Structure 1
C-alpha cells in the first residue's frame, strides 16, 4: 500500500487545485487543428502484434479505423514506454519502480500551455488527482493492483507532479464518464484502464473485449461534435525475444471514411504521439526524440511535412533493452539527463518551446543525442550518439 508520506505529498499538491472549484466549465475547444481537434490515446498491456491482429474484437474495431502494422514500443518493461510518449525520451529507464524526473525536463503539456490547448489524463481507479502512491487495490476483486503509478506517465514528471493546477487534470474513469456526458473531454487525453481491464492481470481476450465495449459509445455517430482521433495501442509486446512490435488502431470521426478498414505500414513509435500533436496544432517541440518521429499518416492533410522511411537499423535494433540514462537501475549505466537539441525544428515547423529553451539555454554548447534523424536506439548495439547541437539530420533513403 502507498505510504502515508506519499499520500500527504499528494494532498499538499492538490490544495491549490481545489481552490479552483469544479462547477465552472473547464475549457473551450481551441480550433485550428490541421486534421483533428481532439486526440485520445488508450493504452492496453503486454501483447504481441501477431496475437492482437487476430483477435475478433480488434478485427471488429479495425473495420472502423486504420491498423498500424509497423508500430514499435521503445523498450521493456512498461513504464519507460509511458514516460516516452509524453516526454520524448525514457531517459534509460529499465524498470517499473517509482521515479521522478526533474522540473527542467518539459513534456507535451508545456507545448499545449501557451496555446491553451486543454489536456488531461484518466486513470481507472486512481484515488484522486493528487495521489502519489504506487497503486490502489480493491475494485477488481482479484487482489491485484487497480490503478498503478507506472501506467500514469504524467505523475513521474515533477513539472506536473509539483504543480497543483496540473494535477487537477488527472482524473479517474468516473471523471471521464462525467466529462464525456458534459461534452467537456479535453483536447489531448491519455487513458489507462486498471490492471484487470488493460490485460496486465488478465488476458488478451478480456482486455480486447473491454476495449471494444468501452470504445463503442465513443465511436457512435455524434459522440463528439469535434473531430476526434483515437489511438488504441499497447505499451509493449509480451515476448522480449522478438522485436517490440505492437498492435495499434487509429479510430474516431477524424479518420476519413475512405481509410476505414485499411492498414498503414509507416514506421511509428510512441514518439509519434508528441510528433503528431506538434504537427496537428503547429506547436514547438521538446528538442528530444519527438523530433524525427513519424506523424500518423492520416493526420497529414496538408503539405509541409514528409515522414521518414524505416530506420536503417530497424532489422537489428534490440528494442527490448534500455540504453544508459538518468533512470537506469544499473549504476554503471547511469548518465545525467542530456540537454535537448535547441537547434531542432519539429513536425509543427517550429523550434523548441520557450519552456525548453528557458530551462536549457545555457547548455546550448553541450553535446546532445537528439539529432532529429528518427533512428532507433537500444542498450546493446545502437546506443544513442552524442554530437554538436545542429538542425535535423537527414538519413539517406
Structure 2
C-alpha cells in the first residue's frame, strides 16, 4: 500500500508544480531541438475504415492534393486499442481486446526518448475530463454518452510509466487545450490526437468523420499556421473488415511536406511502428529495443538525409493480413499469456543510436535472455506468423 500512496503523492506533486509553472506565464512547450526534416509532428487518428472506402471519399481526396498519400500503410492488428499502444511503445504485447489494461512501469515509450532530449510532447483527446482522468470513458460535450472520450483511444495512459507520473499526465489535454495552445503557438513537438467517438467515425460514418477532419485540419494547413516545420499524419487505427488485409488510408500533410511532393503517392510499406522510427530518425534519438527498430521511416522525412536506406517490405508481407494478435502479456486467452519480453539491448535504431539508457538500465539483468525483437521488421498474424524468440544480437542498419 505504501508504494502506491507514494506514487500518488508524487503524481499530485508533479501536477501542482506544473500548474504553478503555467501560472507564471512560462511557455510550457518550446522548440528546443530542431529535427532533420521537421520540427513538430502531429498525428490524428480516425476509426475503423477500409482502405478502399476511404480513398473514394471526397474530403479525403481533397486533403490528398495537399500532401503525400501513403498507399501501403498497415495497422498492426485488431481491434482498436493494440494499435494505439503500439504507436508509442513499439509493441502491443499480444493485446486482442479493448478493455482496461496496464503496462508495467519498466516498459518504456517514446516519451522516455523525448524527455531525455527535452523534446516537448503531448496528447489531445476530445472530451477528456482532465489530465489525470483514468476512467474507461466519459460523457462528452454533446450530452450523449455514446459520443465520448474513451481510454482505449489514449495510448499514453495504458503505460504505468506515464500514468504514475503527474508531470507527464499534465501533458495530456482536451481539444480545448489544443485550441489554446495553437492560438498561443505552444503546440508541443510531438502530438497524438484522438477525436471523440462521434467525430472519429466510431459511432457515426466515414463521411461524417472525414468531413469533420477536413474542417479541423484546414486551418492547420494554412500558410503561416505554424512557424516551425510541421508534419501531420492523418491516419486510421485499423480497417473495418477483419477478413481482408489491415491496410488503412493515410496522408502526410503540413508545411514540412516539400511542395514538389504534394499530391504525390508513396508506396513504401509502413505501419504504426513507422511513427516511432521516424521520430527516432528525425531527432536522432536512441531506440526502445522493440519493433520500433526495423520499421520503415516516412520517406519524406529521410529524403534530405544522404545515405539512409529504409529496410523495405518484410519478406512475408504477401501472406500476412496484420489482423490477428499474437500471444503476449495482454492477451485475453490464458493459454496465450506470455511475460513481457525483454527488449533487445543490442539493436541500433533509425536514429543511428543504440537502445536508450533508460531502457538499458531497466532491463540490464535480461541481456542474456531471448527476445523476439531482431530489428528485421517482419509482419505478424496470430494464426500464421508468430514472433520468434532468439538471442539478443545486433541488427544490420544503413548509414544515417
Q: 1:18: how far off?
A: 2.4
Q: Does 1:73 align with 2:71?
A: no
Q: How does 1:1-397 map to 2 (within 5 A)?
A: 13-20=11-18, 21=20, 22-23=22-23, 24-300=26-302, 301-392=304-395
Counterpart contact for 1:160–1:166, Cα < 8 Å = yes
| TM-aligned CA deviation for residue 331 of structure 1 | 0.2
Asked if the contact 2:45/2:234 (under 8 Å) is kept, the reply is yes
Q: Secondary structure at 1:323's aligned position in 2?
A: coil
What SS does the aligned partner of 1:19 have?
helix
Query: Could you tell me the TM-score, scaled by structure 1's length?
Result: 0.95
Relative distance call for 1:133 and 1:90 in structure 2 (3 A) is same
The CA deviation at 1:141 is 3.9
Q: 2:119–2:189: 8 Å Cα contact kept in structure 1?
A: yes
2:8–2:164: 8 Å Cα contact kept in structure 1? Answer: no
Alignment partners' CA distance in 2, 1:138 and 1:221? 32
Q: CA deviation at 1:303?
A: 1.7
The answer to whether the 8 A contact 2:324-2:382 is kept is: yes
Tell me: CA distance 1:194–1:15, structure 2 relative to 1, closer, same or farther (3 Å).
farther
Query: What is the aligned-residue RMSD (CA, Å)?
Result: 1.5
The count of residues paired between Structure 1 and Structure 2 equals 387
Q: Are the aligned partners of 1:140 and 1:196 in contact in 2 as well (CA < 8 Å)?
A: no
Distance 2:153 2:29 in 1: 26
Aligned equivalents of 1:71, 1:10: Cα separation in 2? 39
Rounded to whole Å, the distance in 1 between the matches of 2:179 and 2:12 is: 22
1:6 alignment partner in structure 2:
none
- Is the CA contact 1:47–1:238 (under 8 Å) kept in the aligned structure 2? yes
1:14–1:55 CA distance, 2 compared to 1 (3 A):
farther
Q: Is the 8 A contact 1:10 1:131 kept in 2?
A: no
Secondary structure, counterpart of 1:246 in structure 2: coil
TM-score, scaled to structure 2: 0.94
Deviation of residue 16 (structure 1)? 2.5
Shift, 1:179, TM fit: 0.2
For residue 34 of structure 1, give the secondary structure of its aligned residue in structure 2: coil
Contact 2:101 2:158 survives alignment (8 Å)? yes
Q: CA deviation at 1:299?
A: 0.2
| Deviation of 1:230 (Å) | 0.1
Structure 2's unaligned 5+ residue stretches are 1-6
Gap change, CA 1:117 and 1:138, over 3 Å in 2:
closer
Report how far residue 304 of structure 1 moved: 3.5
Distance, in Å, in 1 between the alignment partners of 2:325 and 2:169 is 29
